[in-house]
Every structure is written in structure tokens, then in C-alpha cells.
Amino acid sequence: MSEAVVTALIAGIVGLLTGAVGSLLAPWAQWGVEKRRKKIERRTTLIDSWRELLAVPEFDRGMMLNDPSYGVLRPLLTEDARKNVERPANHLIVVLDGATSSPDRDALLREVARIEREWGLL
């Protein structure tokens, strides 16, 4: 075989291989981007649902503990916050005169803000 035929053959094989590799890598890269986008979207939805649950004017700790979204939030809470929110119902909390917010709500809002920062959504 002549040099020109060998060069053309090598160029054709290299082109075929790079085309095959490119056609495999492009969907994989697109899948990675889509996976990351969906993860961020899911986390944003969770943060929004937690904030909506905590924004209820008559906040009730029992209602919060029985809400399905608390099941997702619970493992993400710090140990202290989880113990404080899940304390026995007969536990007494003193609210200062004129206070308009619940200590449980405030603690949970701080936890949601911490989680949002950890997830890089800010």
C-alpha cells in the first residue's frame, strides 16, 4: 500500500473513533447537567415547602411534627434542634410578654436557613 492510502486509512479510523467517543460523551455530559439541575430544583422545592409550613400564623408544633415534609427535614436538623422540637408535649416554654413568634418556629427557620446555605442555594 502506498503512503497516501495508509494516511487516509488512519485518518478515517481516527475520525470514526473520535466521532463514536463524542457521540457517547455528549449525552453523558447532558445527563450530568440535567441531574444537577433537577437536584437543585428538588432542594429549592423542599426549602420552599418548609418555609411555607413555618409561615402559618398559628404555628403548631404538633402539626409540624405530623407533616410529611418534616420527615424529610428531620434527618437534616442538628441534634440539638431535633431534640428541642421533638421534646415531650408537657414541656414548658416561657414566652416573654409581647413576643409574637414561637421559639420552635424560630429554631426551625434558623435550621432551614443553615440547610439552604449548606446546599449552596443562596
pLDDT tens figures, 71-96: 999 999 999 999 988 887 655 555 55
- Dist CA 15 CA 21 (whole Å): 10
Whether pTM > 0.95 for this model: the answer is no
How much is the pLDDT for 117? 95
Count of domains observed in the chain: 1
pLDDT over 70 at 23, yes or no: yes
Domain holding 60, by residue range, is: 3-118
